[in-house]
A and B are shown apart, each in its own frame.
Chain A
Amino acid sequence: MKLRAAIFAVGVLSLAIYTGLGFRASQVDEPLYPSPSLSKIVRLSEYDSRLRGTRADTDVYEFGEPDGGATILVLGGTHCDEPASYIAAYLLLENIEMERGRMLIVPRTNRSAMSHKTIGEAHPPTFDIPLPNGVRPFRMGSRYTNPLDQWPDPEVFVHSPSGQELSGADSRNLNRSYPGAANGNFTGQIAFAITELVKQEHVDLVIDLHEASPEYPVINAIVAHERAMDCASMAVLDLQLEGLEFALEPSPANFRGLSHRELGDHTLTHATLMESANVSQGRLRGKTNADLVVSGLDSMYVRAAKINMTRVPYDEKGIPLKVRVGRHIAGFHKLISAFSQLNPDRAAAFTGIPTYDELQQHDLGIYLDPHDHP
């Protein structure tokens, strides 16, 4: 009896340590290789010192100088189970050359969410992007802040300052926590720091990169705050002229906590957000693994498309990561060009970033090859 208890105890302890060390590995940041045009890296805690030394203190990469051109902020990895969001940000920061204006890139906006995976979603810990010689692994993270940083969840999350009620888990959802509060919870502090960054750096244009399930209504879209509507509608028209279907969605006024709504309302910036279609976060998906993340091909979604359950065209070709990243990059080009046309005195200019077609032709690995960055 005691022997059996001892065997069970040793067994469960071994299992906890064996799997636990695997979970720990997800807490280590993969290296990034900023382009030579990098002017400095600051930490997010510069904008809210309470984040210093925590898992949410993340790098803000700054390219270019304050030269009268626009200051643009790109947010990747707000939700870290939306890989096109942070892979697009990585691609931008490893390739961009600023010619006019300033580019701030936060590739892991909720770095705590990148350090674990959502329980119950069975996402792979990592996925590989093929390079010309070999592969480069990237982590798959979570939509939510790591519970090791914020626990327990309340039963009901009450958004501040609006009082809107959401399920308790959304208290760890950064994109329901804007504008954040100085005395808020941990996720609210991250939101607060980003809001402060936008204010203190006088950011003109925010591009928050996201993905959504193919069955979700707001998809393949640019969402814009009222102030950014002109800029976003011009960008969407341009994208459509180039054959890329994008919808223009006004930021809903009655749904609070989202970056485009709160950054638009609480700062002077032009707040936008982009969505691409990611089957690996969809509820209709079949087998969940690293292949699914990169290929975006899923047999269940092929069936779902046939019964009109998807809001984007979907067939046996799937929606690969390079297409989703390509759409974000194309949107990035067009939003900045539209902003520059509408505000010629604050125009921004850059080189080094591929077009959508170039990205489809050459694949992601060409632009994410660490060997190009000695």
Chain B
Amino acid sequence: MLFWTYWLLAALLLALIARELWRASEWRMQLAAALVLLPLLLRVLLFK
């Protein structure tokens, strides 16, 4: 139960950061956003 709550929280964060990647105009911010997506994707896709 707690696992899936945190999975949902990670998925939500993933969505918000993906939105920021899309909206940011500065490449440095976009790069930072892409970097943060990596661990979130690995966890949300249940790879690691």
Contacts and interface: CB of A to CB of B under 8 A. Distances in A.
Determine direct contact between A and B, CB below 8 Å: yes
Interface string A132-148: 00000000000000011
A23 B42 contact: yes
Contact of B6 (A2, A15, A20, A151): A151
A253 interface: no
Interface string A1-25: 1101100110111011101110110
Contact of B27 (A4, A13, A116, A151): A4
B47 to A, nearest CB: 3
Contact of A116 (B6, B31, B34, B48): B48
B22 A5 contact: yes
B22 A2 contact: yes
Contacts of A12: 34-35, 37-38, 41
A336 B3 CA distance: 42
B21 interface: yes
A154 B27 CA distance: 36
Nearest to A146: B48
A152 interface: yes
Given A8-B30, A8-B34, A150-B3, A13 B21 contact: no
Contacts of B45: 16-17, 20
B21 A16 contact: no
Nearest to B46: A148
A23 B24 CA distance: 31
Contacts of B24: 5
B47 A23 contact: yes
A17 B41 CA distance: 9
A15 to B, nearest CB: 6
Contact of A23 (B22, B27, B30, B48): B48
A19 B37 CA distance: 14
B31 to A, nearest CB: 7
Given A12-B34, A148-B48, A151-B6, A1 B25 contact: yes
A143 to B, nearest CB: 16
Contacts of B33: 8
Contacts of B21: 5, 8-9
A148 B24 CA distance: 32
Contact of A9 (B27, B34, B42, B48): B34
A24 B47 contact: yes
Nearest to A152: B6
A170 to B, nearest CB: 18
B11 interface: no
A1 to B, nearest CB: 6
Nearest to B37: A12
Contacts of A151: 2-3, 6
A185 B13 CA distance: 26
Given A2-B22, A8-B21, A9-B22, 19 more contacts: A5-B21, A5-B22, A5-B24, A5-B30, A8-B33, A8-B34, A9-B34, A9-B37, A12-B37, A16-B42, A17-B45, A19-B47, A20-B42, A20-B45, A147-B48, A149-B3, A151-B2, A151-B6, A152-B6
9 contacts: A4-B30, A9-B18, A9-B22, A9-B34, A19-B42, A21-B47, A23-B42, A24-B47, A151-B2
Interface of A: 1-2, 4-5, 8-9, 11-13, 15-17, 19-21, 23-24, 116, 147-152
* Among all A-B residue pairs, the 9 with the closest Cβ atoms: A20-B47, A16-B41, A8-B34, A23-B48, A12-B34, A23-B47, A12-B37, A5-B22, A5-B21
